[in-house]
């Protein structure tokens, strides 16, 4: 079996040929499946002629476009692992990631090449350089123009299960970004789950806010519409443009961050607009609230489905739940401090909960699976689960648990399973507050939910602050008020204290702070940087605790 998903594009091109495979909303450029496959072949010939060899790691820094899709497939066809690094992570993290990967090749737009030329020492291993876009020859010839000529068929590399296809970096929301090694078999397993569980295939028109997911759409025979937006800042999407392309191209399916759907939901509500062609949307990348789902239900057709997959860069998707079940069954429990229900495991995925540890767990010997209802560390096993981080044995050892000839991945999250087999998310393992002062562990998601229901609270964050006498850590709640709440008063703090006193989860919490604008991750604009808030809180409470 050839596990290379580039083979799927070639097969789809053979079946659907002249059917539209991709549209660039910004330029209205359209390409058929046959044209996409032929352009990928042309790029593969150009890259191979330029020295790229099978197994060499190639950084790809091209904007979301037909060329991004075709270049990725071209590298798959060659068997050269593609390195995808989100520029939104900041240039220091970006340079650290590049230096750690030690790539042999670089394909980028002129702006990316300018960046490379300014930081040459971080790119010292790069032997092959290709410019995608006009640079007046400064960075070499424009390979996008070269690919306009059909260079003929390019045979797809026959990938085995363990052959490396890509390295994709985590957001770095709880530490330095890590390069996740994606074997071809992992992409293949993801492709099958998306096709079989979410029912995506020929006849669908997808508008993905995550550029990489356009790969899956085209490989499955669904038309992909590349939206006019900056994928690194989904919260800043222009809703008029995003909705316009949905309506113009009759998009039936769209996958985006909840930060984007929040903007689209408000846009639709304010204009009493329904996105009549959408029959399915996915929200992923950050916790999804029942309130957001309910808002989107009013913007979509009555029979449309909202899915909220759960996973991580290292394992996606592994669990999923429909929006209707969230709104009608689980959201009320979330608001009462039970955590966020993320759903049931997908076909072929095993989920378990084990006692929480902050150290390496080398194997499962002596490790018990916790009973339903008991909060612990979430671990997962399945074909979409990646095996290791690139050039990072320390983090790999912390994240993987050997189980005979197989292994489990530690999600880094805590939660529990209920009697229906549903997984409830209670926060990141590193964000729990273990307080010897109260002989109790406080979990962020259940605690924060109690305060988030207050009408003046936009969001809240639980952090742990060290007592000035050095005798332990205490929990502190920080709230970001809703926009428009002027001069949040001591009355709000008093009301938050009353909420805390009424619940066993939070009755010990005595310290509350107000922060005007929480620091959040760049990719999803939703993951709170609690580590930064903790440092801020320690300064604010200096000498007071």
Q: Where along the chain do its domains lie?
A: 6-184, 308-427, 432-540
Q: In this structure, what token pair is assigned to residue 340? A: 């966020």
Q: In this structure, what token pair is assigned to residue 248? A: 């113009």
What is the CATH number that goes with domain 432-540?
3.30.300.30
pLDDT confidence of 343, banded at 50, 70, 90? very high
| Architecture in CATH for domain 6-184 | 3-Layer(aba) Sandwich (3.40)
Q: In this structure, what token pair is assigned to residue 466? A: 């060290």
Q: In this structure, what token pair is assigned to residue 432? A: 């729990």
pLDDT confidence of 525, banded at 50, 70, 90? low
pTM: 0.95
Pairwise CA distance, residues 114 & 404, whole Å:
48
Pairwise CA distance, residues 200 & 339, whole Å:
30
- Residue written as token pair 């074997």: 183
**DSSP code for 32:** E
pLDDT tens readout for residues 423-451: 999 999 999 999 999 999 999 999 999 99
Check if 308-427 and 432-540 are the same fold. no
Residue 470 has a CB neighbour count (10 Å cut-off) of: 6
Q: Where are the beta strands (DSSP E) in 482-523?
A: 511-514
Contact 478, 514 (CB under 8 A): yes
Structure confidence at residue 399 (pLDDT): 97
Fold observed for domain 308-427: Luciferase; domain 3 (2.30.38)
Residues ≥6 apart with Cβ < 8 Å to 380: 315, 318, 345, 349, 350, 351, 352, 408, 409, 411
pLDDT confidence of 543, banded at 50, 70, 90? low
Structure confidence at residue 49 (pLDDT): 97
Average pLDDT value for residue range 135-144: 95
pLDDT tens readout for residues 73-111: 999 999 999 999 877 777 888 899 999 999 999 999 999
| Range with lowest mean pLDDT among 128-132, 197-201, 286-290, 474-478 | 286-290
- Residue written as token pair 């991580």: 312
Supply the DSSP string of 215-246, one letter for each residue. Answer: HHHHHTT-EEEE-SS-TT-GGG--HHHHHHHH
């Amino acid at each position: 079996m050839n596990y290379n998903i580039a083979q799927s594009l070639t097969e789809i091109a053979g079946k659907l040929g002249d059917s539209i495979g991709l549209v660039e909303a910004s330029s209205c450029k359209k390409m058929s499946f046959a044209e996409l496959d032929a352009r990928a072949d042309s790029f593969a010939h150009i890259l191979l002629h330029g020295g790229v060899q099978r197994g060499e790691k190639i950084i790809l820094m091209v904007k979301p476009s037909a060329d991004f899709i075709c270049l990725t497939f071209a590298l798959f066809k060659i068997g050269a692992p593609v390195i995808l690094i989100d520029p939104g992570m900041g240039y220091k993290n970006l340079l650290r990631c590049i230096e750690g990967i030690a790539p042999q090749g670089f394909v980028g737009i002129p702006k990316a090449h300018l960046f490379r030329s300014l930081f040459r020492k971080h790119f010292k291993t790069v032997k092959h350089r290709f410019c995608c876009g006009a640079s007046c020859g400064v960075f070499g010839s424009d390979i996008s123009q070269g690919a306009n000529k059909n260079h003929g068929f390019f045979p797809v590399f026959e990938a085995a299960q363990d052959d490396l296809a890509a390295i994709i970096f985590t957001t770095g929301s709880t530490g330095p970004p890590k390069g996740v090694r994606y074997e071809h078999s992992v992409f293949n397993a993801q492709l099958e789950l998306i096709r079989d569980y979410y029912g995506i295939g020929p006849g669908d028109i997808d508008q993905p806010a995550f550029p990489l997911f356009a790969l899956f759409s085209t490989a499955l025979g669904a038309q992909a519409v590349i939206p006019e937006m900056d994928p690194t800042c989904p919260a800043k999407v222009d809703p008029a443009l995003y909705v316009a392309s949905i309506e113009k191209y009759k998009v039936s399916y769209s996958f985006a961050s909840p930060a984007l759907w929040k903007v689209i939901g408000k846009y639709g509500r304010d204009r009493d607009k329904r996105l009549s062609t959408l029959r399915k949307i996915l929200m992923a990348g950050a916790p999804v609230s029942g309130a957001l789902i309910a808002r989107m239900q009013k913007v979509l057709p009555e029979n449309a489905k909202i899915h909220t997959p759960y996973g991580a860069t290292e394992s996606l998707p592994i669990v999923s739940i429909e929006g209707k079940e969230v709104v009608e069954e689980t959201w009320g429990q979330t608001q009462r401090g039970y955590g966020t229900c993320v759903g049931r495991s997908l076909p072929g995925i095993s989920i378990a909960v084990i006692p929480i540890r902050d150290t390496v767990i080398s194997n499962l010997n002596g490790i018990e699976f916790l009973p339903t209802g008991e909060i612990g560390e979430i671990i997962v096993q399945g074909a979409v689960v990646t095996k290791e981080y690139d050039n990072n044995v320390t983090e790999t050892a912390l994240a993987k648990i050997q189980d005979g000839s197989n292994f489990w991945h530690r999600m880094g999250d805590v939660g529990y399973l209920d009697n229906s087999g549903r997984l409830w998310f209670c926060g990141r393992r590193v964000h729990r507050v273990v307080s010897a002062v109260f002989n109790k562990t406080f979990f962020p998601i259940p605690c924060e939910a109690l305060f988030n229901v207050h009408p003046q609270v936009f969001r809240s964050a639980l952090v742990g602050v060290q007592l000035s006498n050095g005798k332990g850590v205490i929990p502190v709640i920080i709230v970001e008020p809703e926009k428009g709440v002027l001069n949040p008063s001591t009355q709000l703090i008093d009301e938050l204290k009353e909420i805390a006193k009424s619940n066993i989860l939070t009755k010990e919490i005595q310290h509350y702070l107000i922060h005007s604008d929480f620091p959040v991750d760049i990719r999803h604009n939703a993951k709170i940087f609690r580590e930064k808030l903790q440092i801020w809180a320690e300064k604010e409470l200096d000498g007071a605790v």
